[in-house]
Amino acid sequence: MRSDINKIPTIRLNKFISNSGLCSRREADKFIEMGAVKVNGKIITKMGFQVKLSDDVRFDNRKISINKLKYLVLNKPKGFIAPVKKGKYIKNVFELINGSETMNIQCAISMDRKSIGLLLFTNDQNLLDKFKKDSKNLNIIIKVVLDKTLSKLHIEKIKKDFKIKNNKISIKEISYIKGESKNNIGVETYIQSYSSINLIFKKLGYQVLQNDVVGFANLTKKNLPRGKWRELNEKEISLLKML
């Protein structure tokens, strides 16, 4: 009798693609038939082709993960650190997300303990890579609290291309927040410039007391209490992928 102890588990290619969350199994069959799917560098058009979980499966040259894609947003409270990847930190934001949702997910941006507000988590590596490559398409809106009133002269200076150590930082919009004191400032910038916000104000003689991310790409923290998280809906996910 033949032993199957050492047999490596396999799965049909269309099911592998479907389980990744990319599309349905029927749609996967069409992509395979079109020659849009590669396994370990080879184009596969054969229906019923079997793959191992460790195989490198790519659709349109983008690697597909067997893990179901997850997209979460958290309204980060003060005192927690947000590393891009999990690490051994005291009061890590990943502690705030319950259960299996933390499996293999990453933060789209890092955040220090003082900063608060909207954080996106996902295990969609293609989307994370896109954020890094096309960061100028990703707006981030921040409420900045300063130690003193921001002068109109400095607002105009920041609106122009601001340089720190010869690195140009583009701010899309900056203004006082209506109905609040003039040390509360609204800043709209690109995700790549987020970590430089404090440096801009420091160079102009201000201390940043707090950064509150109120908007990220097409997402907001509306109806999301501080310290709580939720999964994105299908419309939000689709809009993210269109950026």
pLDDT in tens, 16-49: 887 776 777 888 899 999 999 999 999 999 999 9
Radius of gyration for the alpha carbons in the chain, expressed in angstroms and rounded: 22
Q: Is the pLDDT of residue 137 over 80?
A: no
Predicted confidence band at 2 (pLDDT cuts at 50, 70, 90)? very low
Give pLDDT tens digits for 77-133: 999 998 877 777 789 998 898 765 566 788 888 899 999 999 999 888 778 877 777
Residues 46 and 95: beta-carbon distance below 8 Å: no
How far apart CA 108 and CA 106 sit, in angstroms, is 6
* Residue 215 bridge partners (DSSP): 141, 220
Q: What percent of the chain has pLDDT over 70?
A: 91
Top pLDDT among 141 and 54 is at 141
Q: Is the pLDDT of residue 182 over 90?
A: yes
Backbone φ, ψ for residue 23 (5° rounding): -170, 180
Residues 174 and 159: beta-carbon distance below 8 Å: yes
Q: Is the pTM of this model over 0.85?
A: no
Exposure on the CB side of residue 175, measured as CA atoms within 13 A: 7
How far apart CA 204 and CA 140 sit, in angstroms, is 22
Average confidence (pLDDT) over 127-148: 83
Predicted confidence band at 204 (pLDDT cuts at 50, 70, 90)? very high
How far apart CA 24 and CA 5 sit, in angstroms, is 32
Average confidence (pLDDT) over 144-161: 92
Average pLDDT, the chain: 86
Residues 100 and 113: beta-carbon distance below 8 Å: no
Torsion sign over Cα 56, 61, 62, 66: negative
Q: What pLDDT is stored for residue 93 in this prediction? A: 92
Residue 191: DSSP 8-state: G
Q: What pLDDT is stored for residue 4 in this prediction? A: 46
Q: What pLDDT is stored for residue 102 in this prediction? A: 60
